[in-house]
Amino acid sequence: MATKAASKTSEKASGDAEPVKAKKVAKPAKGHKPNALQQPLQPSAELAAVVGEEKLARGEAVSKVWAYIKENKLQNPKDGREILADDNLQKVFGKDKVTMFEMNKYLAQHLK
């Protein structure tokens, strides 16, 4: 049986199967708006205290909030999914603790 298993693995290793090609992502045509995640949004005054005053995409805002959380060590050491809000984040979240899954819901309310 060992020879059959060895021959099967050598067939796979020899490259008999065709490689999988990556699909190309279609770029939006000229004049079209970017999708919802790429659209620049204005942060509220409360969120601007954390991410800055300039317009930014939703993904960039989330990244900047995470950088702020890690820089200020605001993740619960016992449960990394939980964020312990400081004064600036309490104004955004409206409470002392949120999970990382709830965070986007609160951020969406501060991006217009």
pLDDT single digits (tens) 55-75: 999 999 999 999 999 999 999
At the topology level, CATH places domain 45-109 in: MDM2 (1.10.245)
Whole-angstrom distance, CA of residue 105 vs CA of residue 80: 18
Query: Cα separation of 112 and 108, whole Å?
Result: 8
Query: How large is the greatest C-alpha to C-alpha distance in the chain, in angstroms?
Result: 70
Question: Using one digit for the tens of pLDDT, what is the confidence trace for 78-110?
Answer: 999 999 999 999 999 999 999 999 999 999 999
pLDDT value of residue 6: 52
Question: Which residue has better confidence, 44 or 13?
Answer: 44
Predicted confidence (pLDDT) per residue in 18-57, tens digit:
555 545 545 556 666 667 778 899 999 999 999 999 999 9
**Is the Cβ–Cβ distance between 66 and 104 less than 8 Å?**
no
User: Is 13 a residue whose pLDDT tops 90?
Assistant: no
- Name the average pLDDT for the chain: 82
Distance CA 46, CA 111 (A): 10
Q: Is 96 helix (H, G, I), strand (E, B) or coil?
A: coil
Q: Are strands 82-84 and 97-99 parallel, antiparallel or unpaired?
A: antiparallel
Which pLDDT score, from 0 to 100, does residue 61 have?
Answer: 93
Q: pLDDT at position 62, please?
A: 93
